[in-house]
Amino acid sequence: MSLITAQNLAKSFGPDDIFEGISLSIPKGARIAVVGANGVGKTTLLRILIGQDFPNRGSVQQAKELTIGYLPQEATLVSEGTLWEHCLAVFQDILEMQSALDDCMLAMSDPEKGEEAVARYGILEEKFEQRGGYTYEVQIKQTLSGLGYEEGDYHRPITQLSGGQRTRAMLAKLLLESPDVMMLDEPTNHLDIQAVEWLEAFFKDWEGALVVVSHDRYFLDQVADTIWEMTPSLETYRGNYSAYLQQREERYARRLAEYEAQTAFIEKEQEYIRRNIAGQNTNQAKGRQRRLERLLEESRLAPPPNEPRRMHIHLNTRGRSGDLVLRTHNLQVGYHDEGKPLFDCPDLLLQRQECAAIIGPNGAGKTTFLKTILEKIPPYTGKVQMGASLVVGYFAQAHEGLNPEKSLMQEISSIAPNMLPAEVRHYLAKFLFTGDSVFRKVGTLSGGERGRLALAKLSLTDANLLLLDEPTNHLDLPTQEVLESVLSNFPGTILLVSHDRYLIDSLASQIWEVEPQGKSLVVFKGSYTQYKAYQLSIQEREKDALSAKPEKTQQQHKGEKEVINDKKLSKFEMKKKRKRQTEIENLLQDLEAQLGLIASELENPPSQSDAVLALGEQYVDVQEQIESLTTEWDEIERQLGDS
């Protein structure tokens, strides 16, 4: 059964047709990604499907009592409450039941109302538990933590949150609501890698339908099993993003072969007609001419396959750099006026033609690290040694190298003053700026357009060392694909800050992860996929060690000597241990609250003996969970102390 269906949708704004002839269906449990170039109408399509916009032609049908959650790309959240209160609003029915349960508890002490209150309490308590009355606070904490909020943010007013934090707050509430269908427009824009990976894990277990517009190719590989490509018509591909890329190439090659075959057929027929129309075979020639004209009139011939306009970029280098590109010694990154460094670096080494990808949470200091390399910020301590014969090109995340008052022509001329105006216009056309758009001021450009202009300037530097800070931000998928291909073939060296895991996995030979908890930079020699496999293997070993712990305890009871691994924890392992401690602390807080609730009930026990017995068993069970988690916390603390 389909949750949403649409027939022959068309949309235009004034004289401009956005799309037409779109028909689609969203089944239960769907995992659909909508992709396509910027401006093709992806956001408009989502708004039409949820009823926030209307098509010029066509219709949309929704299943009865369907619940839909929508996250707009530019979310505007206005609220006077705190972040916690914003999320708590999802569970208003639970809060009302909790209040009703409290009233029942009070009524139980009244001899006249006690029996009725006990009966009502049992019914309400069952509904309360089924709805998640004992777990809703844990759900909120897990969701906020997963999306990158610190515990100190929970009770901050919404008005004090940044634009990105407000967007995440809207997403958090949407995930807690768990509607039948989620429509998400660029949900990963304000998330770091850790938060995006948490969101991917969430959708793997979630049973509802998902329709997502995203430029995050790695995210689409993890969550999507169907791709809708808007061209601006709608084409469907089965599988994730990587499968879509392969199928798209195959489909294009097949259509091109069909078109070339029919073109050869037409040319052959026209040649026969031309040679024989006035000769002995005139009847056959006229017959072929009529058949050919009929085919053309009835549009039974395949159209030429559409190949979207793509950016054309070439990254040349001005000479070869030395083999040693970058070396650091005792480096600490940060600002002296803040009184402490952001993080410590091991002694780093980057050689020619390598690519090091710097990853880590937002605000960890990745951009500050690049600016330290560029000598725009002095090292907090230590030193940075640059190699010989380097020509450095820098792509800034905020595009601060662009002057908002200059036109596109002026920006390019500032880098290449010897280029003639016609050459500048031809050059800008390679970056999809055509016609009068080359005279627009930089301040009027969208984020994606500024990104393309910054790349246009970067490619004129002929750099052999590229420092790239979020180069794929705001770029549509076709442009990302072009940039990835160009960087893969770049003959120089790359230092890359990015949340784009697809790009990182394609380019990186080293992973440098900034760990804010340990305030250190961890170096891994290998690709991103290898790094994730390494992290997973560590997690599996930790799980195995924990599962083997009871068996070891039994051996110790038999008098066997305890063997303690005195190997010190790595910084990565220490980070994982501290994270687990925080999880345990949150669980203990919730369990202790639950224990207090059960104790209150036992102080005024229900009249039925079975109910009292059940409460007693719950009390013992919660106590055992608290003791087990406390023991685990103490063991982790010991391991951290030994390291």
pLDDT digits (tens, 9 = 90+) for 96-152: 888 888 888 778 777 777 777 788 888 888 888 888 888 889 999 999 999 989 888
DSSP labels, 68-123: EEEE-SS-----SSBHHHHHHGGGHHHHHHHHHHHHHHHHTTSTTTHHHHHHHHHH
CA distances from 311 to 179, 246, 402, 443 (A): 39, 20, 19, 21
pLDDT-derived band at 560 (thresholds 50, 70, 90) equals very low
CA distances from 573 to 364, 566, 576 (A): 19, 14, 5
Please state the rounded mean pLDDT for residues 217-236: 93
Please state the rounded mean pLDDT for residues 51-74: 92
Where is average pLDDT lowest: 33-37, 230-234, 277-281, 473-477? 277-281
DSSP labels, 588-624: HHHHHHHHHHHHHHHHS--S-HHHHHHHHHHHHHHHH
The token duo for 77 is 């959240």
- The DSSP output letter for 255 is H
Chain mean pLDDT for the chain: 86
- Give, in degrees to the nearest 5, the angle at Cα 215 between 7 and 256: 65
pLDDT of residue 613: 62
Tell if the pTM clears 0.85, that is, is over it.
no
Is the pLDDT assigned to residue 596 strictly greater than 60? yes
Q: Which residues pair with 514 in a beta bridge?
A: 521
Q: Which tops the pLDDT comparison, 565 or 397? A: 397
Largest CA distance in the chain: 116
Among 243-247, 262-266, 307-311, top mean pLDDT goes to 243-247
- Name the residue among 202, 242, 138, 193 with its Cα closest to residue 535: 193
pLDDT of residue 635: 83
User: Residue 555: what are its φ and ψ, rounded to 5°?
Assistant: -65, -40
What's the pLDDT tens digit per position in 374-412? 999 999 999 999 999 999 999 998 788 899 999 999 999
pLDDT of residue 473: 87
d(CA 479, CA 491): 20
What's the pLDDT tens digit per position in 309-368? 788 888 888 889 999 999 999 999 999 888 899 999 999 999 999 999 999 988 889 999
d(CA 474, CA 454): 12
Please state the rounded mean pLDDT for residues 169-180: 94
